[in-house]
Amino acid sequence: MNIRELARRSGVSTATVSRALNDRAEVSEATRAKIRALASELGYAPNEPARTLVRRRSDTIGLIWDSGQEARGLHNPYLLGLLSAVRTALSEADYHLMLLNTPGAEEQDTALLQAVRRHNLEGVIVLTTPPDDRCLRLLAGSTVPCAGIDTAFTGPRTVRVSSDNAAGAELAVQHLYEQGHRRIATVTGPLHLPPAAERLAGYLRACTRLGLAVPPEYVTEGDFFLASGQSAGKRLLALADRPTAIFAAGDQMAIGAMHAAADAGLSVPGDLAVVGFDDIDAASLVRPALSTVAQDQRGLGEAAVASLRGLIDAAPVEPAQPRIVPTRLVVRGSSRPRG
Amino acid sequence: MNIRELARRSGVSTATVSRALNDRAEVSEATRAKIRALASELGYAPNEPARTLVRRRSDTIGLIWDSGQEARGLHNPYLLGLLSAVRTALSEADYHLMLLNTPGAEEQDTALLQAVRRHNLEGVIVLTTPPDDRCLRLLAGSTVPCAGIDTAFTGPRTVRVSSDNAAGAELAVQHLYEQGHRRIATVTGPLHLPPAAERLAGYLRACTRLGLAVPPEYVTEGDFFLASGQSAGKRLLALADRPTAIFAAGDQMAIGAMHAAADAGLSVPGDLAVVGFDDIDAASLVRPALSTVAQDQRGLGEAAVASLRGLIDAAPVEPAQPRIVPTRLVVRGSSRPRG
DNA sequence: GACCGTGCCGTAAACGTTTCCGATCGGCGG
DNA sequence: CCGCCGATCGGAAACGTTTACGGCACGGTC
């Protein structure tokens, strides 16, 4: 069942069928309707590879994420939500989606770039901070439009979209302040990662704005995982000037801090309030449930797709501005009014 | 940079270049090496759409999962792991992967089938139990090879791969038995879903094998979510013949049961041991950490890909046997030896 | 020496679509 | 009546590959 067969049965030429189905103007309404009807009756679907070949565009974009993390057993609970958001946003824009595999160490440096060319991909969306990868750097350095969600690469035709990490952190601190807390400490992520640095900046900004003192020992660096939050919490709770609240730059670390409080015989939120960042699944499963700054995954996905489309059909006029997506505070039991 | 240009620069014809790069025999080693070298030097990558067009096979399979769940706010923490596993297994088999979007209610019934034909997909992998969808049923009923992970459709060229739910449940009960428990209750999932039914069957089988009495009130049905586990736990703990251990068919329900124990002033695992199923992220974050039956996501992904390949290049001889992948018990704090 | 097989390679026809370039046909103003 | 114009369509050339087919040279066998 190809366009020729459909043309034969409609009594017109393949050119007319193509024009009819592609909503071109040079075809009468009558024949267009007839062809449409016959096409859907016969279940005709145009062959995409052939279209791609002649049009020299595939309406397809590639998606890639850092699976190195999972390989090391570290799930990023956000990936799935981002994936779905990107997928629906792309399909609404009539793009197809191809999953690229993160090149391992044994791959060629050009593996990613080659994959893009092989499939005529019109752009690539990169999820989460990837390892310091040469493949990815090569891709970003090329003229292939790239949108990165929470990634830090730069290139001639790249755009970065990320949550408003600083504002989110401010939200958290503001909330704790409103609950009466004045001694608020923080556990950061690895500070060489942009999101971690931005969340710290937001924390500091809020503290100065609110007139809160931030002794240097109130800022401890973690690695986004449970254990680091627990040990950081333990250190913070042993301080002479013990904080009454902790803002952790990641939910796992926040849960770790809650464990540290329990270890010290302190109650949450009575003796220590905790606010995290990300709203992972576990946040609503632990007890007390974790207050946290939720990222807008759908918004991130839509922003990435919108930016990418801009990059695709616009000339590379200027380095695209990063797109910032607002966050939202979710208040749960771990920061309710002090008892 | 196409094959013609490469042929010109190598001083041979396009046919020879094609044969050289596709490892056909009718090319001398010398010219093959020369072409290879030139190709990688020039960064030549064959155009997949053109290949697909002429070969009439795309080396691409489609992936689809039920995003209805997420839309309703229900994350399936397993999806991401499965996704990665499928992706790596496919790329090792030199297949490309295209993400299909789950058709909404407004789509044509034939949307999925049409997508498969448009892109010349050679097969489809379906993740997690989808809604009772006509699109999917149409796909399964066609001759398109389909592999479903934890899905219950059937068709002429479909195969189902799933974890050994029954054996996993037996593992859990056996473990609790070995810890000295004799009164073991269970919280099931919705029993119309095959995994839930199988886990219950495994529980019952283990109990009879071990000679444990199972009063009817020891079996309560939940919906895989936290609240159902909590209320089920509450009911079980109020029983005159109170169980000393609970096997929950899902981790969220298991955590709910732990909350119920805390509400009743009981300690875990001292007064009540709990074992879950799935090993979601939260399992290792709650306190005490949750013992659980972990699914082998990588194994599931590889089995799905292997089955699909069998379906693709074999004649549809007989209805393919379902592939069963073993599970693994992860013992954590919630079921450690009784105090 | 004729013949055949084999190894290597080139020519050209496909694959299914889009689109450029004409062609045809009414209608309409001059 | 003539030429022009817009609307509608068909013919045919692309797009970049793979592969059937045939050709050529060479070595071996009778």
Q: Has residue A114 got a pLDDT over 80?
A: yes
- Regarding whether A287 and A171 lie in a shared domain, the answer is yes
Residues B256 and B198 both lie in one domain: yes
Give me the residues paired with residue A63 across strands: A99, A125
Residue B174 lies in a domain: yes
User: Which of A5, A48, A142 is the best mutation test for B, with the most CBs of B within 10 A?
Assistant: A48
Helix (H, G, I), strand (E, B) or coil at B160: strand
For residues A101 and B94, the model is more confident at B94
Q: Are residues A153 and A210 in the same domain?
A: no
Closest residue to C20 (CA to C1') is A15
Does B188 lie in the same domain as B235?
Answer: yes
Neighbour count for residue B111 (Cβ, 10 Å) = 20
Judged by CB atoms closer than 8 Å, whether chains meet at B53 and A53 is answered as: yes
- Report whether B325 contacts B300 (CB < 8 A): yes
Closest CA to A253 of A199, A187, A330: A187
Burial status of residue A216 (CB atoms within 10 A of its CB: 0-12, 13-18, 19 or more): exposed
Rounded Cα distance between A194 and A115, Å, is 28
Question: Do A50 and B48 lie within an 8 Å CB cutoff?
Answer: no
Cβ B99–A114 below 8 Å, yes or no? Answer: no
Q: Say whether the CB atom of A16 is under 7 angstroms from strand D.
A: yes
Is B129 or B336 the better-scoring residue by pLDDT?
B336
Contact residues, B window 8-47, toward A, CB-based 8 Å cutoff: 43, 45-47
- Name the phi and psi angles at B203, rounded to 5: -60, -50
Choose among A47, A91, A99: nearest Cβ to B118. A47
* Strand D contact nucleotides, protein CB < 7 Å: 7-12, 14-20
| C1’ D1 / CA B106, Å | 58
Output A318 or B249, whichever has higher pLDDT.
B249
Q: How far: B299 CA to C1 C1' (Å)?
A: 67
User: Are A22 and A66 in a shared domain?
Assistant: no
pLDDT of residue A81: 84
Average pLDDT over residues A67-85: 68
Interface of A with B in 219-258 (CB under 8 A): 226, 252, 255
Q: Which residues contact B81 (CB under 8 A, 6 or more apart)?
A: A70, A75, B297, B298
Would you call A285 and B284 a contact, using CB atoms and an 8 Å cutoff? no
Q: Could you tell me the distance in Å between the CA of residue A203 and the C1' of nucleotide D20?
A: 71
d(CA A116, CA B231) in angstroms, rounded, equals 51
pLDDT for position B268: 94
Is residue B297 over pLDDT 50? yes
Say if A122 falls within a structural domain: yes
| pLDDT of the residue at A153 | 81
The encoded tokens of residue A37 equal: 């009807």
Owner of token pair 């004799």: B182
CATH of residue B83: 3.40.50.2300
Residues B28 and B123 in one domain: no
Look at residue A62 and give its three-state secondary structure.
strand
Domain count, chain A: 3
Q: Which residues of B touch A101 (CB under 8 A)?
A: 87-88, 91, 97
- Length of chain A counted residue by residue: 339
Same domain, A175 and A154: no
Say whether A48 and B282 touch across the interface (CB within 8 A): no
What single letter denotes the amino acid at residue A294? Answer: A
CATH number at residue A13: 1.10.260.40
Asked if B287's CB is within 8 angstroms of A262's CB, the reply is yes
Tens-digit pLDDT profile for residues B168-178: 999 999 999 99
B135, B90, B133: which is closest to B304 by C-alpha? B90
Mind listing the pLDDT tens digit for each residue in A279-330?
988 999 999 999 999 999 999 999 999 999 999 977 665 667 889 999 999 9
Q: Would the pLDDT of B209 be above 60? A: yes
Which residue of A44, A84, A135, A259 to mutate against B (max B Cβ within 10 Å)?
A84
A201 within a domain of the structure (yes/no): yes
Q: Are residues B139 and B180 in the same domain?
A: no
> Which one of B5, B22, B48, B107 makes the best mutation probe of the A interface by having the most chain A beta carbons within 10 Å?
B48
Which nucleotides of strand C come closer than 7 angstroms to any CB of the protein? Answer: 7-12, 14-20
3-state SS, residue A293: strand
Q: Which of B45, B49, B67 sits opposite A49 (nearest CB)?
A: B49
**Token pair listed for B159:** 């195969």
Is residue B229 predicted with pLDDT exceeding 70? yes
* Region of A100 on the Ramachandran plot (φ > 0 left; ψ -120 to 50 alpha; else beta): beta
Burial of B59 (0-12, 13-18, 19+ CB in 10 A): middle
Better pLDDT: B154 or B9: B9
Q: Looking at beta carbons, which residues of chain B come within 8 Å of A280?
A: 281
Residues in CB range of B51: below 8 A, 6 or more apart: none
Closest nucleotide to the alpha carbon of B53, via C1': C15
- B143 assigned to some structural domain: yes
Distance of alpha carbon A275 from alpha carbon A150, whole angstroms: 21
Structure tokens at B72: 């309703």
Name the closest residue (CA) to the C1' of nucleotide C16: A50
What is the rounded radius of gyration, in angstroms, for the C-alpha atoms of chain B?
Answer: 26
Contact status of A111 with chain B (Cβ, < 8 Å): no
Given a contact cutoff of 8 angstroms between Cβ atoms, the answer to whether B167 and B306 are in contact is no
On whether residue B54 sits in a domain, the answer given is: no
**Which pLDDT does position B133 carry in this prediction?**
78
The answer to whether the CB atoms of B281 and A88 lie below 8 A apart is no
Who contacts B174 (Cβ-Cβ below 8 Å, separation ≥6)?
B206, B210
Pull the structure tokens for residue B131. 């809604």
User: CA–CA separation, A184 vs A215, rounded Å?
Assistant: 10
Write the CA distances from A36 to A44, A46, A95, B117, B138, integer angstroms: 10, 12, 22, 18, 22
Per the structure, the complete domain to which residue A103 belongs is given by: 60-163+298-325
B333 touches chain A (CB under 8 A): no
Same domain, A170 and A274: yes
Give kind and range of the element (H or E) at residue A275: strand A273-278
B53 falls within a domain: no
B325, β-bridge pairs: B163
Quote the minimal CA–CA distance from B44 to chain A in Å. 8
State whether A208 and A269 are in the same domain: yes
Question: Nearest-5° angle of CA A168, CA A170, CA A176?
Answer: 110
Same domain, B88 and B34: no
CB within 8 Å of chain B, chain A residues 137-196:
none
> Does residue A103 have a pLDDT over 80?
no
Mean pLDDT of chain B: 91
B287 and B170 together in one domain: yes
The number of beta carbons lying within 10 Å of the beta carbon of residue B199 is 29
B51 within domain boundaries? no
At B306, the pLDDT band (50, 70, 90 cuts) reads very high
Residue B52 is assigned to a structural domain of this protein? no
CA of B17 to C1' of D23 (A): 19
Q: What angle, rounded to 10 degrees, do the helices at A29-42 and A14-21 form?
A: 90
How do residues A10-43 score in pLDDT, each as one tens digit? 999 999 999 999 998 888 999 999 999 999 999 9
Residues ≥6 apart with Cβ < 8 Å to B300: B82, B85, B149, B161, B162, B163, B325
Banded pLDDT at B130 (limits 50, 70, 90): low
Query: CB of A61 within 8 A of CB of A90?
Result: yes
DSSP reduced 3-state for B55 = helix
Q: Which of B127-136, B154-163, B258-267 has the lowest mean pLDDT?
A: B127-136
The 3-state DSSP class for residue B19 equals: helix
Q: Is the CB of B315 under 7 A from strand C?
A: no
